[in-house]
A and B are shown apart, each in its own frame.
Chain A
């Protein structure tokens, strides 16, 4: 038996899985910007029946603005994401980098959707061009869009001028994650760090963003998202002061 041509559905699936594998490869950050083209093909393959629920791409983006997703379902999904990733990495640094990459892909979408919604609702939509307002935007707007609550604090590093921190006392994403003692440096909030990195990139503030556990006695899940800005951002901020 021979199959001259694979079923179109299968070819779509395989091409999309190929390109997602590409995204996970450590080839470099530039690869993250290309998105798989599979979904558009997929829509033409599925012949919609009459009375069929509209495709997710055809639904109104504003309709789901106030709707919420199940935190429990997401917790299980995130748990699987971490387990899946953990099987394919060599160490903690590698695991954090991969979670960051996955978060980056979410972040680009969160950012696009947030801007789109702001544009349609406010009379004066604007784009932040200074760093501190951009950081505030992430602290409140992005956090609310992604996690349903603003972050708890923003701090500036005393030692390094290019480092800023966003602090969440109890990140909803990793609330149920207990890292074993032998991996204590691991922070699964690297996923959130990826979201922040994507939004900063989108706003034009390239930076390296990492996540660190900074527990206190009363807040065992406290997490710090550390933003290390690239030099060109600081130089531009300096130039804009005059």
Chain B
């Protein structure tokens, strides 16, 4: 039961926010994170066309041996990705709350440019309060 990291990917596949929680995570360069986010965006686009029964919203969970990746797609195409331990069961609920914080602290902030990296003290503060 642990949260390892949070990514926010814009509708073009660019990583606009990335944050790690807790220690022990391998340190990647920002370039590597950008590549990862772009790749995930591509995978998501492909998986949304794989469904045998009509339209699909794409991949929602990717599970590894030691971690789980939960992906939430918003109606506007922004993706929230939460990296957690495999046993974490509340990732969906947390992602909904992150979305709420994003709507408040990012979209209502007059100094934020849509689709650009998120640099907002208010967002950082509220994410810290939410995920520690």
Contacts and interface: CB of A to CB of B under 8 A. Distances in A.
Interface of A: 72, 75-76, 78-83, 86, 176-180, 183, 188, 220
**How big is chain B's contact interface, by range?**
10 to 19
B49 interface: no
A79 B104 CA distance: 11
B121 interface: yes
Majority SS at the chain A contact face: helix
B121 A79 contact: no
Given A75-B108, A82-B110, A188-B110, A176 B122 contact: yes
A180 B111 contact: yes
B126 to A, nearest CB: 10
B119 A83 contact: no
B7 interface: no
Contacts of A176: 104-105, 108-109, 122
Contacts, number: 41
Contacts of A86: 110
Contacts of B110: 78-83, 86, 177, 188
A180 B108 contact: no
Interface in B100-128: 104-105, 107-112, 119-123, 125
Interface of B: 104-105, 107-112, 119-123, 125
A83 B104 CA distance: 16
A178 B119 CA distance: 9
A142 B123 CA distance: 30
Contacts of A183: 111
B79 to A, nearest CB: 22
Given A178-B105, A180-B119, A220 B111 contact: no
A183 B120 CA distance: 13
Contacts of A179: 111
Closest 6 CB pairs of A and B: A82-B110, A176-B108, A178-B120, A178-B122, A75-B108, A79-B110
